Structure 1
Amino acid sequence: MRTLVLNAGYEPLTVVSFKRAMVLVMNEKASVIEHVEGDPVRAGRRSYDRPVVILLSRYVRIPSGRRVPVTRRGVLRRDDHRCGYCGRSAATIDHILPRSRGGVDSWENLVACCLRCNNLKSDRTPQEMGWELRLTPRPPRGSAWTVRGAERGDPRWEPYLALAA
């Protein structure tokens, strides 16, 4: 079981384990906002609700410019597992400007790609192939991308993640 952690200003920060969430609550560094009905956690003489969403007591400053790291899984997720060239189901990624020609691993230079298009395109650019991209690759935005672990979230987190979008 995992718990969404909200900053004191209600913006989503991260997702932590149940155990870590309980430590924060027991040490009064956070309070439970949403919890699992019934089945409380007993610690000594106290009883605690099982946290789903917790709110930190003190504000934690977040460094500005928090960028989402570029990963294969992230590119596929951003493009909804659809090929950027033909729209079919994608299982791999492609460099728009090939690495052999100086292309880098960036959100703007990577696109989800099916095996057929990836093999056909090979070491060429889409312009050389006469192809057009179905979308303009951009870095992903929103709380589902900046809050680590939120992509496989609990439905009860949605109202809090929507506030940050």
Structure 2
Amino acid sequence: MLSTAAVGDAPTRTLLLNASHEPLCIVSVHRAVLLVMTGKAVVLEADGSLHSERLAMPLPVVLCLNRYVHVPVRRPVPPTRRTVLQRDGHRCAYCGGGADTVDHVHPRSRGGRHEWTNVVAACVRCNHRKADRFLHELGWELEFTPRAPRWSVAFGAAATRAEPSWSRYLVA
């Protein structure tokens, strides 16, 4: 039975990367230890150590598989309110304040589509001021070009907040 050196603040989840260093999933520490002990993965980042009677090993926070695992093409994440807010970091695309709504850059009432390249996070005030107008009608400009995330925003954003050491592996 392995025990952690600092049980109170020890991570309970481990980021698992493919051999190409692309994020695959989040696994439990128990599963991570099994992957390392069977030689299927190597520890890239650790936080503390695990000890048993005959073994001591680093507590895995980020693992990389030794062999590449083919992953079927994932369907793109749809631009929902939650996923758009996560992509934009809960910041208004117009004023930079806290965002709690979603706005269509090219208004739907004027032919705009509900897709990643046309949807941004916005605060209620800016969303109300913009209404169904184009940005050039108000003299506004976006500081970034909205785009679809490379992979699941729900997975990436939630994981980055929980484990800061994962952020360099989770580039959206």
Bin of the TM-score, shorter chain as denominator length: 0.5 to 0.7
Q: Is the 8 A contact 2:76 2:152 kept in 1?
A: no
How many residues are paired up?
159
User: What secondary structure, in the 3-state scheme, does the structure 2 residue paired with 1:108 have?
Assistant: helix
| C-alpha spacing 1:60/1:153, structure 2 compared with 1 (3 Å) | farther
Question: Does structure 1 residue 56 correspond to structure 2 residue 60?
Answer: no
Question: Does structure 1 residue 32 correspond to structure 2 residue 43?
Answer: yes
Partner of 1:92: 101
| C-alpha spacing 1:73/1:27, structure 2 compared with 1 (3 Å) | same
User: What secondary structure, in the 3-state scheme, does the structure 1 residue paired with 2:116 have?
Assistant: coil
Aligned counterparts of 1:47 and 1:71: Cα–Cα separation in 2:
45
| C-alpha spacing 1:19/1:72, structure 2 compared with 1 (3 Å) | farther
Aligned counterparts of 1:102 and 1:68: Cα–Cα separation in 2:
22
Identity of aligned residues (%): 47
What is the CA deviation profile of residues 102-161 of structure 1, one whole-angstrom value per residue up to 9, with x for unaligned ones?
A: 543311111111112222333x132585342323322245x89596454225344355x2
Aligned counterparts of 1:80 and 1:91: Cα–Cα separation in 2:
11
Q: Is the 8 A contact 2:105 2:135 kept in 1?
A: no
Q: Is the 8 A contact 1:107 1:138 kept in 2?
A: yes
Partner of 1:19: 30
Q: Structure 1 unaligned segments of length 5 or more: list them.
A: none
Which of 126, 136, 159 matches 2:134?
A: 126
TM-score, normalising length: structure 2: 0.66
Which range moved further: 91-100 or 59-68? Answer: 59-68
| C-alpha spacing 1:24/1:38, structure 2 compared with 1 (3 Å) | closer
> Which amino acid letter does the alignment assign opposite residue 58 of structure 1?
R
Aligned counterparts of 2:74 and 2:33: Cα–Cα separation in 1:
30
What is the RMSD of the two structures over their aligned residues, measured on CA atoms? Answer: 3.6
TM-score, normalising length: structure 1: 0.68
Q: Structure 2 unaligned segments of length 5 or more: list them.
A: 1-11
What is the CA deviation profile of residues 37-96 of structure 1, one whole-angstrom value per residue up to 9, with x for unaligned ones?
A: 2343x4x97665421122213211244687454232332343343333344332211122
